[in-house]
Structure 1
Amino acid sequence: MSNIPTAKLNSGYEIPLIGYGTFGGHDAPEQVYNASKVALKTGYKHFDTAYIYQTEEALGKAIKEGDVPREDLFITTKLWQNFHEPQYVRPVFERSLKLLQMDYVDLYLIHWPISWEFQSYEFSDLKSTKDMKNTHVPIIDTWREMEKLVEEKKARSIGVSNFTIPMLEDLLSKCSIPPAVNQVEITAALPQEELLAYCKSKNILLTAYSPLGNPGYKKDSRATLDDPVILDIAKKYNKSPAQVVLNWGVNRGYAVIPKSTTPARIEANLTYFRLEDSEIEAITALGREHPYRSCRPENMWGPSCAIFN
């Protein structure tokens, strides 16, 4: 799939705008391994994982056994919130590299702008995240340790995830290396127009996680893939609703990282085509008046972790 567009990050590196996400695979590492091999054969070059997903090892194994040279791939992983204190950043990053069987990653993200007390590096020792308390480690303290990883060429780019505009403003006012990416929830129900415009103005690329919506929250979701607006556009282009929504994102100028373990869907998701401006606007309008955010930290971890309005 050589026609997948790329974007040039403020770090100077190119990132493919359609990637493969591995969230949700901690209970089925073999499934992630097999699906990642399919994605590699299909032509994906951008892969997204995280320490807390427990999919780094499966992804790394698939890449190591594959035929695609490491330098042709763009690999993202993330720092979990138990490791925000500066002394824990490097050790947990090195663990990620070891699990991935790599000497560097292309992008290292702060997973959430929330810090918890250190418990352990081992997944088996991490306590329940229910009602965890935000310990308010300054983001800049964590960030400065990540900047060192760039200087040492262990992380080619660094960025953030789930950051609001005020959080980005604060980080930009203090950092030496600006974030290259902000990975956030963007769906047809949550078009994130203000954040997208802001990040474009600061040369920060957005990446959309759960770009097709979050099935776990489907009972509350709006502007789903079966919306008539999306269905009509899909029919016009002879594409699936999922392909339409993914390309709505790419056409708006950000990366998308859909996840699937079904080979046919993995292949279908790696499809790029142009939408008309009026069609992009029609989909954006679906979530404009009453945007709905499905991934809210206060619902997952308790009220002290609330970060969104």
Structure 2
Amino acid sequence: MSSAPILNSGYNFPLIGLGTFGGQNGPKEVYKAVKVALAEGFRHIDTAYIYNTEQAVGTAVKESNVNREDLFITTKLWGNFHEPQHVGPVFERSLKNLQLDYVDLYLIHWPMSWEFEGYELCEWESRKSKSVTHVPIIDTWRAMERLVKMGKIRSIGVSNFTIPMLEDLLSKCEIPPATNQVEIHPSLPQEELLAYCKNKNIVLTGYSPLGNPGYMPGIVKTLEEPVVIEIAKKYNKTPAQVLLNWGVNRGYCVIPKSVTPERIKDNLTFFEMKDIDIEAITALGREKPIRTWKPEECFGPENAIFE
């Protein structure tokens, strides 16, 4: 159960990775967290150009004793760079930041495209000023396909894509997306999307797998749900371990973020869960799913993409 699935690109995909978005002290905390994670056995690290953590990840990886071939490094293309002529140059910046010769997975971070403002890393807090420029996804995708053919990327995928978006891309692409990284937690179980992606041989990755604690206090309380606490007692695990393995047992990857050494260590725990327990947790968000990441709130009303 803890074995990595094989992506449609032919590469193994570790089911629990370390997310590197945020952190109170940003890159410094992420650098320390990645060092701990690699020492504890994590082999999948997820970052993005916009996170401003690629350099921290790259330095931590370089200082580790882990063989590059044993690592799976993901980074992402931000919306300002969707025009095909910008994909290669900004990817080269990511590659330089990471101090790598190739990345294992490169994702379109969001399906929206925004005006190019130069290659310098923009401030995350300026994101709400972005206006949509409507660059066709397939144009961006073909530029990414070229990087695969050049040997600089092993797999390409998407993030925050809906089923209609995936349908459109699959109808036009040469290299199909290997993954779709989306928000998944018990308050947003994504059952339809999960079934669709399994049918299309696309592996989902769940971000905010613990329900984004603290972001919507009193609304999304997945770690405090009585059913989660009871199941944790049943398996002698923590509620966080239960939620991560709820995802793994459903057949997708999870990328919890943490900068706390003990939590990082605890997060890399695999165990099998009974179907009745998986269903009990899934049912929590089935009737009234709650999305904590809403693009219209993060980037402005013209960026709404979810129903």
Q: Please say whether Structure 1 and Structure 2 have the same fold, judged by a TM-score greater than 0.5.
A: yes
Separation in structure 2 between the aligned mates of residue 29 and residue 160 of structure 1, nearest angstrom: 24
Which residue of the partner structure matches residue 250 of structure 2? 252
CA contact (8 A) 1:221 1:294 kept: no
Cα 1:268–1:148 change in 2 (3 A) is same
* 2:45 equivalent among 32, 44, 47: 47
Separation in structure 2 between the aligned mates of residue 46 and residue 69 of structure 1, nearest angstrom: 13
For residues 217-236 of structure 1, the aligned pairs below 5 Å read 217-219=215-217, 221-236=219-234
Q: Secondary structure at the match of 1:169?
A: helix
The letter of the residue matching 1:212 is L
By how many angstroms is 1:27 displaced? 4.4
CA contact (8 A) 2:232 2:242 kept: yes
Which residue of the partner structure matches residue 30 of structure 2? 32
Over 4 Å off, 4+ runs = 124-127
Q: Compare 211-220 and 29-38 and name the one that shifted more.
A: 211-220
Which residue of the partner structure matches residue 8 of structure 2? 10
Which residue of the partner structure matches residue 238 of structure 2? 240
Cα 1:34–1:77 change in 2 (3 A) is same
Q: Compare 102-111 and 219-228 and name the one that shifted more.
A: 219-228
Which residue of the partner structure matches residue 270 of structure 1? 268
Matched, 1:158 2:152: no
* 2:180 equivalent among 182, 188, 206: 182
Matched, 1:96 2:94: yes
Separation in structure 1 between the aligned mates of residue 264 and residue 46 of structure 2, nearest angstrom: 14
Cα 1:273–1:127 change in 2 (3 A) is closer
Q: Secondary structure at the match of 1:279?
A: helix
Considering only aligned residues, what root-mean-square deviation do their CA atoms show, in Å?
1.4
* 2:279 equivalent among 278, 281, 285: 281
Q: Secondary structure at the match of 2:201?
A: coil
The letter of the residue matching 2:65 is D
Separation in structure 2 between the aligned mates of residue 227 and residue 23 of structure 1, nearest angstrom: 25
Which residue of the partner structure matches residue 59 of structure 2? 61
Measured against aligned partners, the alpha-carbon deviations of 1:227-271 in whole angstroms (never above 9, x if no partner) come to 011000000111000000000000000000001000000000000
By how many angstroms is 1:30 displaced? 1.3
The letter of the residue matching 1:34 is K
TM-score by length of 1: 0.97
Structure 2 gap ranges (5+)? none
Separation in structure 2 between the aligned mates of residue 127 and residue 200 of structure 1, nearest angstrom: 35
Which residue of the partner structure matches residue 79 of structure 2? 81
CA contact (8 A) 2:77 2:109 kept: yes
* 1:122 equivalent among 98, 120, 123: 120
Separation in structure 1 between the aligned mates of residue 9 and residue 60 of structure 2, nearest angstrom: 27
Cα 1:206–1:57 change in 2 (3 A) is same
By how many angstroms is 1:126 displaced? 8.2
CA contact (8 A) 1:25 1:54 kept: no
Q: Secondary structure at the match of 2:244?
A: helix
Separation in structure 2 between the aligned mates of residue 219 and residue 30 of structure 1, nearest angstrom: 27
The letter of the residue matching 2:206 is A
Measured against aligned partners, the alpha-carbon deviations of 1:26-80 in whole angstroms (never above 9, x if no partner) come to 8421111111000000000000000000000000000001000111100000000
Which residue of the partner structure matches residue 213 of structure 2? 215
Separation in structure 2 between the aligned mates of residue 88 and residue 304 of structure 1, nearest angstrom: 23
The letter of the residue matching 2:63 is E
Equivalent residues, number: 307
Separation in structure 2 between the aligned mates of residue 22 and residue 83 of structure 1, nearest angstrom: 21
Percent identity (aligned):
69
Separation in structure 2 between the aligned mates of residue 35 and residue 27 of structure 1, nearest angstrom: 12
CA contact (8 A) 1:119 1:125 kept: no
Q: Secondary structure at the match of 1:191?
A: coil
By how many angstroms is 1:123 displaced? 2.0
By how many angstroms is 1:219 displaced? 2.5
Separation in structure 1 between the aligned mates of residue 281 and residue 30 of structure 2, nearest angstrom: 31
Measured against aligned partners, the alpha-carbon deviations of 1:187-226 in whole angstroms (never above 9, x if no partner) come to 0100000000000000000000010011342236335111
Q: Secondary structure at the match of 1:267?
A: helix
Cα 1:228–1:160 change in 2 (3 A) is same
TM-score by length of 2: 0.97
By how many angstroms is 1:4 displaced? 3.2
Matched, 1:146 2:144: yes
